[in-house]
Amino acid sequence: MARGSFREQVLKVREDAIVSAVNRLLAEKGFDLMTVDEVAADVGIAKASLYKHFPSKEALAAAAMVRVLQRTAAVIDQQPADRSAFEKIEAVTRWALEVQLAGEMPTLPSQNSTLRAELMGSKAYIDLLMQVSDQLGAWIQQAQADGAIDPGLPAEVVLYTVFARACDPVPGFLKAAGQLDDKQIVDLVLRTCFGGLRTR
């Protein structure tokens, strides 16, 4: 019994290492350029061993997305109750931008039918996506009721705008330019996201 438990622990540690490698490679290269060979080499295992854990490149990407959504759900749960709905949305968006700048946000193509099918077939992914979307959606509606977000905007447009910050190319461009530090970049992107570009 203990032996099986130890084996399960070893497999879990290996899977965690694989998902971490996938997450980093997706953030660096994106889905199309990442290869299964690179993932296996990064973890230090044979490709055949990797396939025992994840049967395809798409399954690897789905596991990375589940991990990101788990982290997102945890950040949402940690928001202090005394913060306004708008402050909570802004804090989660700030976190997503910081994760992206740290090179820990996987980048997936929006138009890949095989990957989309894998994600839609993952119960863990769908459940977490719905959990995160529902909570952010509730905060968006409250922020609109509070007058902090334009109530004329459909809530789903605001939700997709918030989600888009996790894969926004602007932070990467600004970082590559080397003129701003990460905090300045996050502050400026948040300012344009939530405040717009017009002079008030």
Structure-token pair, residue 89: 């949305």
Q: How far is the CA of 2 from the CAs of 7, 8, 15, 16, 26, in angstroms?
A: 9, 10, 20, 21, 36
Distance of CA 156 to the CA centre of its chain: 18
Question: Do the beta carbons of residue 61 and residue 124 sit within 8 Å?
Answer: no
In this prediction, what percent of the chain has a pLDDT beyond 90? 68
3: confidence class by pLDDT, cuts 50, 70, 90 = low
Helical ranges in 30-154 per DSSP H: 36-43, 47-53, 57-77, 85-101, 113-120, 123-146
Across the range 27-37, mean pLDDT stands at 89
Measured CA to CA, the distance from residue 137 to residue 152 in angstroms comes to 15
N-term to C-term CA, the chain = 67
pLDDT at 31 over 80: yes
Superfamily, domain 58-195: Tetracycline Repressor, domain 2 (1.10.357.10)
pLDDT score, position 156: 95
Exposed/middle/buried for residue 30 (C-beta within 10 Å: 0-12, 13-18, 19+): middle
Q: Whole-prediction pTM value?
A: 0.87
